[in-house]
């Protein structure tokens, strides 16, 4: 990636207060194009609860940045395949692949990939262990279980992969100058922030030290007390499982320090001025509560928050017809002619839409009152799902206020 450019205090992202659309720390409209045009922005992390359109938002931002001349890699951690489908790819895997169909005449590029948790873990082992040690680890049954399904492994490997991509961007002739990260759904989307601490706790824990004791400690450690503990663990886990764990930990011990160091380096990267977090939400009570949680958590961790994207917002429809007027007219026309009944149905739909729009506006105002410094942009609901690059371009245009969605 490019080096850190010197920026004035007025446009530099603060640690706990977001940068506004005009380069201030006040709330207001989030200027996505300004964020993408800022070449000091090197990483954009899209986070939020499930089902709010994070994946589509990440893909749309990545496409728009590439078509504006940035060299972009978009990484999805969401196990769903929506990103691949929206970009016209038959599949995504652990290797960044070029996206065909992007308009890159301006010198940009777009690669996409999806995190393969186990493959990333394997790559780390192969890269940082001797061939003999790596083969021993990769064949260990406990490692196979740990790397495939152990709680927290996905989030930690997401940090590993982000660190790898950033290193590639720096070392391979500035291969990418922007990495866009799509995170897992629900509150686990921020679990990767806890990965270094959890890893340190695991590695420094008594259980790990106990497992390593026979291999590393003096003979006195193989005492009757240790034998009692081992016997108890054998009964709970089974002798073979315990043996597999001890073998894995002994083989893996030389890699522990490197894992912790890289995780902490990536954590620092997420706190750096070149990173921008976008919280994505839908205009629903639960999703907006989650958005508040994300904003507060990011502030507590001193992560640079760019702003909030509220997806699938409904406008209030035709001007000049209030909800009460529409309902009253609909009631009067409901017993009339066929045309009157059709008009009554349309008025009922309009009244319903007005109520939805009013409820969504209240939710957004409530969020703004609680978080007055957070810039926000609302993206209008589309008539259908996004499943190709044109749909992503439309989302990108809506994010920047260039267009309104076509009526369905």
Residues 276/18, Cβ–Cβ less than 8 Å: no
Separation between Cα atoms, residue 75 and residue 78, nearest integer Å: 9
Tell me the domain boundaries of the chain: 28-194+261-318+371-399
- DSSP for 373-400 reads T-EEEEEEPPSS---SHHHHHHHHHHHT
The winner for highest mean pLDDT among 51-55, 132-136, 363-367 is: 363-367
Token pair 């790819």 is found at: 89
Would you state the structure tokens that stand for residue 30, as one six-digit string? 């989030």
pLDDT digits (tens, 9 = 90+) for 252-280: 666 766 777 777 888 889 999 999 999 99
Provide the mean pLDDT of the chain.
77
The winner for highest mean pLDDT among 79-88, 132-141, 259-268, 322-331 is: 132-141
Please report the sign of the dihedral spanned by the C-alpha atoms of residue 389, residue 78, residue 268, residue 143.
negative
- Cα 128 from chain centroid (whole Å): 27
Q: Which of 354, 334, 352, 351 is nearest to 343 (CA)?
A: 334
Q: ∠ CA(40), CA(46), CA(48), 5° rounding?
A: 150
Would you state the structure tokens that stand for residue 310, as one six-digit string? 């509220």
Q: What is the pLDDT of residue 396?
A: 95
SS3 label, residue 143: helix
For 112, other C-beta atoms within 10 Å of its C-beta total: 26
pLDDT digits (tens, 9 = 90+) for 27-67: 689 999 999 999 999 999 999 888 898 889 999 999 999 99
CATH 1.40.20.10 fits 28-194+261-318+371-399, yes or no: no
The pLDDT-based confidence of 307 (bands split at 50, 70, 90) is very high
Q: What is the pLDDT of residue 247?
A: 74
Would you state the structure tokens that stand for residue 387, as one six-digit string? 């499943």
Would you state the structure tokens that stand for residue 284, as one six-digit string? 């629903």
Would you state the structure tokens that stand for residue 123, as one six-digit string? 């790559």
- Strand residues in 250-365 grouped as ranges (E): 275-281, 305-313
């Amino acid at each position: 990636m490019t080096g850190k450019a010197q920026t004035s205090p007025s446009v530099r992202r603060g640690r706990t207060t977001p940068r506004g659309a005009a380069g201030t720390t006040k709330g207001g409209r989030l200027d996505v194009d300004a964020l993408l045009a800022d070449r000091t922005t090197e990483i954009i992390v899209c986070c939020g609860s499930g089902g709010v359109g994070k994946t589509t938002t990440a893909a749309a931002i990545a496409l728009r940045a590439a078509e504006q001349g940035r060299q972009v890699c978009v990484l999805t951690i969401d196990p769903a395949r929506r990103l691949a489908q929206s970009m016209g790819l038959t599949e995504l895997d652990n290797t960044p692949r070029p996206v065909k169909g992007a308009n890159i005449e301006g010198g940009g590029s777009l690669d996409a990939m999806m995190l393969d948790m186990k493959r990333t873990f394997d790559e780390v082992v192969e890269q940082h262990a001797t061939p003999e040690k790596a083969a021993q680890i990769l064949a260990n049954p406990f490692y196979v279980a740990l790397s495939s399904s152990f709680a927290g492994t996905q989030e930690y490997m997401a940090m590993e992969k982000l660190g790898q991509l950033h290193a590639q961007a720096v070392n391979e002739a500035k291969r990418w100058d922007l990495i866009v990260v799509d995170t897992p759904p629900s509150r686990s989307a921020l679990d990767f922030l806890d990965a270094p601490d959890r890893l340190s706790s695991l590695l420094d824990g008594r259980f790990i030290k106990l497992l390593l004791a026979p291999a590393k400690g003096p003979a006195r450690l193989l005492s009757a007390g240790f034998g009692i503990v081992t016997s108890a663990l054998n009964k709970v886990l089974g002798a073979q499982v315990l043996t597999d764990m001890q073998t894995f930990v002994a083989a893996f011990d030389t890699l522990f320090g490197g894992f912790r160091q890289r995780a902490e380096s990536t954590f620092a990267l997420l706190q750096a001025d070149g990173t921008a977090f976008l919280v994505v939400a839908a205009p629903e009570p639960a999703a907006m509560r989650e958005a508040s949680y994300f904003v507060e958590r990011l502030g507590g961790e001193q992560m640079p928050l760019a702003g909030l994207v509220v997806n699938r917002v409904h406008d209030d429809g035709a001007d000049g017809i209030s909800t009460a007027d529409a309902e009253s007219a609909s009631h009067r026309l409901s017993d009339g002619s066929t045309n009157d009944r059709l008009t009554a149905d349309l008025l009922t739909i309009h009244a319903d839409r007005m109520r939805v729009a009013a409820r969504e506006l209240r939710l957004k105002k409530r969020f703004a009152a609680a978080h007055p410094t957070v810039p926000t942009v609302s993206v209008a609901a589309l008539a259908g799902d996004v499943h190709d690059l044109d749909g992503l371009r439309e989302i990108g245009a809506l994010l920047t206020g260039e267009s309104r969605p076509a009526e369905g």
